[in-house]
Amino acid sequence: MKKYILFVLFAMTISLFSAENFYDLKAKKIEGDTLHFSELKGKKLMIVNVASFCGYTYQYGELQSLYKQYGGAEFEIIGFPANNFSNQEPGTDEDIIDFCTEKYDVTFTMMSKISVVGADKHPVYQWLTLKTKNGVANQEVMWNFQKYLISKTGQLVGIYGSQTSPLHNDIVNWVKEGMSDVAESQVPNLKVFPNPSSDFIDISMNSAINGEINIYNIYGELLISMPPAGSSDICRINIQELVSGVYFVEINGQKLSFIKN
């Protein structure tokens, strides 16, 4: 996979192209009923293509953290499962909803599995990726967990690549801007350092660590589980026994990847 990071904020200028109306779109929810995008008028939206067996699947936890904090009348996350990249979403709609609810407690809107690239690209993703339809930019989906931001008036205003966390400050600040009632508590900001690491990792958050700290391998197998050290928001974990590779640490419902040298 080519390394890909993309962050774009678009100025609100008059396009040379005639954009199609975002609110004319519709798609099937994972439960089977139809979502008419006209129902979303007045909300900021993040639309993201998701997959159950990707190196970025941990972002389900980050998406849910963002939604738990700000989701509701003014902000919605819409997840579109897609199997376009390395067969990383092979399951049925039932398999997918079971996975994301049981493993990540997902409560944001999940849609039925679609295609986000190619000749069978879903109309929603035709709108997101084609300037002739969105009036702003041509930008194909490059990998799982690419994020498109839609304003309250149905305009494409930002695109973030897979490697950008849903909890990136720029995304959180965009979501919060103009909200009538923003909750006072912060979205937990999980950090692992040094990364890559060889002997120990230090974990810090901008809120207290609650519950166990778990470390998984890329296959989802639990390797380390330990309680936090008191009420501190910084914790050190010995990873000397882990072999070299990519791992995920889970705290407070969030997952973040790190590399063991």
- Catalytic positions are 54
Round to whole Å and give the CA distance between 23 and 42. 11
DSSP 40: G
Nearest to 147 by CA among 255, 3, 50, 24: 50
- Give helix then strand counts, H and E, for the chain: 5, 15
> Hey, what amino acid is at 149?
L
Q: Which residues sit opposite 114 in a β-bridge?
A: 82
73: buried, middle or exposed (CB in 10 Å: 19+, 13-18, 0-12)? Answer: exposed
Tokens standing for residue 128: 């997101």
Q: 169-176 and 59-70 helices cross at what angle (nearest 10)?
A: 20
Please report the sign of the dihedral spanned by the C-alpha atoms of residue 84, residue 79, residue 140, residue 52.
negative
